[in-house]
Amino acid sequence: MLKNSTILVTGGTGSFGNAFVPMTLEKFSPKKIIILSRDEMKQWDMAKKFENDPRVRFFIGDVRDRDRLYRALDGVDYVVHAAATKIVPTAEYNPFECVKTNVLGAMNLIDACIDKGVKKVVALSTDKASSPVNLYGATKLASDKLFVSGNAYSGEHGTTFSVVRYGNVMGSRGSVIPFFRSIRDQGELPITDPRMTRFMISLEQGVELVWHAFEDMEGGEIYVKKIPSMRIPEIANVVAPDAAQKTVGIRPGEKLHEQMIGVEDAPYTYEYPEHFKILPAINNWDTSVERIKDGTRVAEDFIYSSDSNTAWMSEAELSEWIDTNAHKIGAI
């Protein structure tokens, strides 16, 4: 599907974009991948990796800027929406800015994609959009709803929208593994709460879920990858086995456990070998055979949460992953 196409990635200089671009170039050989972001320094750094590949283009812009989006989307076939204000405490202390990017930016992108005739759009979501307790999660829930509903008014333009949702990305910049590695020589690691659990997914798995969404989507689906969980103290044990662990308390807006599917979504959720799919509750789309395909409806009380997960990553498995990926942990 993506072969010989033109793809635009909003917020493409982040962790996801740095994985998506080389993987997609190798697997699908698209005609062009356009990176839209507002940080010129990050674009400069990323461009060095692809300076000999004319298929990779860079475009300074902001999803808040509707007119700039219309220019960026000229001739684009597919869009991956990765741009977001996503650090939980940052969103709590800068709520207006978070809303402008995550909600108004989503509205701008949806309108622009419809008007410019984009074929398909996949938006990245987060576990924090499920039963949100912080502003970041609330804005991403609103964003998810906007992208799902976008299918209802794209009309004859034919643009379809879907969402992919996953939790903690192992080794990404600002996440717990590189943070623990950066301070392990101090002899003590801060643990927010020894009960805390997190889902564990690699960037490569996140990219593959986006690819699957593009192939499978009819419009309005939220794809949730099946991934293992870990307890935060176990992660600390692997990163710094000789360091002490000090409980410091949960940060403002932070959850004790990650949740990707709440009980309210269970009536609309179907299970597949490697993922779940939440279908839209509007327009009877949850009964659409084209969307359900070969899925099996989950139990009515189903919840997909990191603490009640049936799959767990062992300390040995995480240690092996870190050894294999040490060169890129915290780099993107």
Q: Which residue has the higher pLDDT, 176 or 276?
A: 276
- The pLDDT assigned to 1 comes to 86
**pLDDT single digits (tens) 77-111:** 999 999 999 888 899 999 999 999 999 999 999 99
Q: Is the dihedral of CA 67, 71, 72, 75 positive or negative?
A: positive
Query: What is the arithmetic mean of pLDDT over 2-10?
Result: 97
Flag whether pLDDT at 332 surpasses 70. no
**pLDDT single digits (tens) 311-328:** 999 999 999 999 999 888
Query: What is the arithmetic mean of pLDDT over 135-143?
Result: 97
Q: Which residue has the higher pLDDT, 69 or 175?
A: 69
Query: What is the arithmetic mean of pLDDT over 231-260?
Result: 92
Structural domains in the chain, sorted by start: 6-328 (3.40.50.720)
- The pLDDT assigned to 331 comes to 66
Assign 24 a pLDDT band (cuts: 50, 70, 90).
very high
- The 3-class secondary structure across the chain, one letter per residue, is CCCCCEEEEECCCCHHHHHHHHHHHHHHCCCEEEEEECCHHHHHHHHHHCCCCCCEEEEECCCCCHHHHHHHCCCCCEEEECCCCCCHHHHHHCHHHHHHHHHHHHHHHHHHHHHCCCCEEEEECCHHHCCCCCHHHHHHHHHHHHHHHHHHHCHHHCCEEEEEECCCECCCCCCHHHHHHHHHHHCEEEECCCCCEEECECHHHHHHHHHHHHHHCCCCCEEEECCCEEEHHHHHHHHCCCCEEEECCCCCCCCCCCEEECHHHHHHEEECCCEEEECCCCCCHHHCHHHHCCCEECCCCCCEECCCCCCECCHHHHHHHHHHHHHHCCCC
Query: What is the arithmetic mean of pLDDT over 216-227?
Result: 97
Assign 257 a pLDDT band (cuts: 50, 70, 90).
very high
What residues act catalytically? 128
Contact criterion met (CB below 8 Å) for 213 and 79? no
Average pLDDT, the chain: 94
Q: Which residue has the higher pLDDT, 202 or 173?
A: 202
Contact criterion met (CB below 8 Å) for 302 and 264? no
Query: What is the arithmetic mean of pLDDT over 191-196?
Result: 94
